[in-house]
Amino acid sequence: MLLWAIIWMNLALVFYTWAVFSGRREGLHNKHLIIFGIGLFCDFLGTQQMSIFAASYGKAPEWHNVSGIASLSGMGFHFLLALVASLLHRAEAVNRVFHRVSLTIYSCWLIAFLSGAVSGMMRMKH
């Protein structure tokens, strides 16, 4: 269970990073939306697996729970913003604002990702 959670979260990291920085470099395109959606799906599955693990073996620190839920929500919002912009063919109009928001939400997600990794390693050490 924990192994799958770690795999899903690392896949989310790969796909989010790819989507955010490739989209920033090339502009928002449908391929970025697909990559981003895959990252969001991986994040959801990883978060779900981590929640099951935490319920079975002890609760994660509250600060990590809050940052993780906020980050997953932020990424969901970010994906919906990209989806709406793409569907309305307004991707170019929102590119500048989108990428500023993108880096902010990605940074918050990365903090939650790293805090979870550190917290998990600290628990394994004990």
What are the residue boundaries of the structural domains of the chain, listed by start?
A: 2-125
pLDDT tens, 96-111?
677 778 888 888 888 8
pLDDT at residue number 45? 93
Total length of the chain: 126
Buried b (16+ CB within 10 A) or exposed e, 63-73: ebbebbeebbe
User: Could you say which residues of the chain have pLDDT below 50?
Assistant: none
- Residue at token pair 């790293």: 114
**Token pair of 84, please?**
């709406």
Contact predicate 103/59, CB 8 Å: no
Q: Rounded to the nearest 5 degrees, what angle is found at the Cα of 80, between the Cα atoms of 63 and 48?
A: 40
pLDDT at residue number 30? 84
